[in-house]
Amino acid sequence: MEPASLLEEIRFGYGPRAGRPLAVGFDVDRVLAQLTADDPDGAAWDRPTLASRYDLIQQYNTEKDTVAGVKPATAQALKAMQVADIETFVARPAFAAAGFVERLVNLWANRITISNASGGVVRYMQNYRDEAIRPHIAGRYGDMLKATLWHP
């Protein structure tokens, strides 16, 4: 194993991927090229948008305030959505071709964070990463800040 390229994969990504040979040496241009490279598998990780989640979340909130409570189908749909979000959060960085992009997405999602004081934020966290952070990783920092400010 080439130590410099192994360190590159670990420090600027999420480690080496099985089946992908390590490059020779460290190359800053190779790392930075990930910011603008196409992501052929990106669509495979797409999660429902915030707008498409809103009806389910609104239905859950309405049902929980009734005498009958939340319907099992609504609770199951919400739980399935949250489980898929968590699976995406864990698996996408591990399998991404551009580990550096994933490292930056999670860095900024953790730094420009949102409060979970109300407890419902978990339903929006994946959207926050995908809609407010990810599109701005290779762009202007100010655009990312604005997107995070206005994202629910």
The residues, any chain, with a CB within 8 Å of residue 109's CB and separated by 6 or more, are: 125, 128, 129, 133
End-to-end CA distance of the chain: 45
72-95 and 99-111 helices cross at what angle (nearest 10)? 130
In three-state secondary structure terms, 9 is helix
- Which percentage of the chain shows pLDDT scores above 90? 58
> Encoding tokens for residue 76?
């199951």
- Map out the domains of the chain as residue ranges: 1-33, 38-150
Going by pLDDT thresholds of 50, 70 and 90, the confidence category of residue 112 is: confident
Q: Count how many residues are written for the chain.
A: 152
Q: Would you say residue 7 has pLDDT above 80?
A: yes
Burial class (CB in 10 A: 0-12, 13-18, 19+), 126: buried
Amino acid at 92: R
Give, in order, the Cα–Cα distances in Å from 141 to each of 105, 110, 131, 135, 150.
12, 15, 15, 11, 15
What is the per-residue pLDDT across 12-53, written as a single tens digit (0 to 9) for each? 999 988 888 888 889 999 999 999 998 888 888 988 888 888
Going by pLDDT thresholds of 50, 70 and 90, the confidence category of residue 150 is: confident
CA distance 56 to 78: 7
Q: Which of 103, 108, 106 is nearest to 148 (CA)?
A: 108
